Amino acid sequence: MQVHTRQAADVWLARGAVVIVAALQLFASAHVAVGPRLFAPGLEIALLIPLSVGTAWTHQRAGRARTAAHRAGVARMRAWVHALAVALTALLSAANLASLVLLVRQLVAGRGGPGPALLLDAADIWTTNVIIFALWFWNVDRSGPASSAAGREGPPEFLFSTMLRDAGRGRDWRPGFIDYLYLAFTNATALSPTDTMPLTARAKLLMMFQACVSLITIVIVAGRAVNILQ
C-alpha cells in the first residue's frame, strides 16, 4: 500500500508539473511564444487530460483484474499511457527548445527587448527546462512508472546515492518524482552530475542535452540581459 500510495503521489506531481510548464508558457513574452500564445499550452493540456484519465483507469482496473485477459488489457493500456506520456514530454521539450531558439535569434538581431524582460524569459526557459527533464528522467528510468506499477521494471538508468546506501542494508529503494526533479535541478545548475550518475547512453544523452539548454540560457540570454542592465 505504501508503494502504491507513493506512485499515485508521483503521478499527481508529474501532472502538476505539466500544468506549471503550460502556465509558464502563457506568461512568457511574445518574443518566445511558439505560434499563438494559447497554442502550445492548449495542446499540452489537451494531451494531459486523456493521459490523466488513462492513468486513473489503469490504476482502478489493475486493482480489480482477476483474469489473465483483464491483466493483459491493463498492460496494453499502460503501454498506451506510457507512450502518450513520452509524446507529451517530447512536445514540452520541442516547445521550450523553440522558445530558446526564438529568443537567441532575437538577441542576434538586436531585438531581444529590455534587460528585465530578457531575464524573465531566461528564467522561464530555464525553469521549464528543469521540469521537462525531471519528466524525461521519470519516464525513462526503469522503463517508466507504468512498468514499475505493473511489476515489470527495466534496469535502472541512474545510480542514486540512496541506492548505494540501502544496498548494503538489504533494502530495495526506488526513486520518486521529487528525486528526478532534484536530479534535473542539480544537472541544470552544476552542468554535470552531482550525487546521481547516469548508467546508460540514453541517460547520459538526456543529461548532456539538458545541460546544453541550461548553458545557452545562462551564458547567452541571461548574460546579455545583465549587460543591458549595466
Residue with cell 500564445: 37
- Over residues 44-64, the pLDDT tens digits come to 999 999 888 888 777 766 666
Q: pTM to 2 decimals?
A: 0.86
Locate 24 and state its grid cell: 509558464
Read off the pLDDT of each residue in 77-104 and give the average, rounded to a whole number: 89
Query: Cβ contacts of residue 203 below 8 Å, gap of 6+?
Result: 137, 140, 141, 157, 158
pLDDT in tens, 112-152: 666 677 778 888 999 999 999 999 999 999 877 766 655 56
Q: Using an 8 Å Cβ cutoff, are 19 and 42 in contact?
A: no
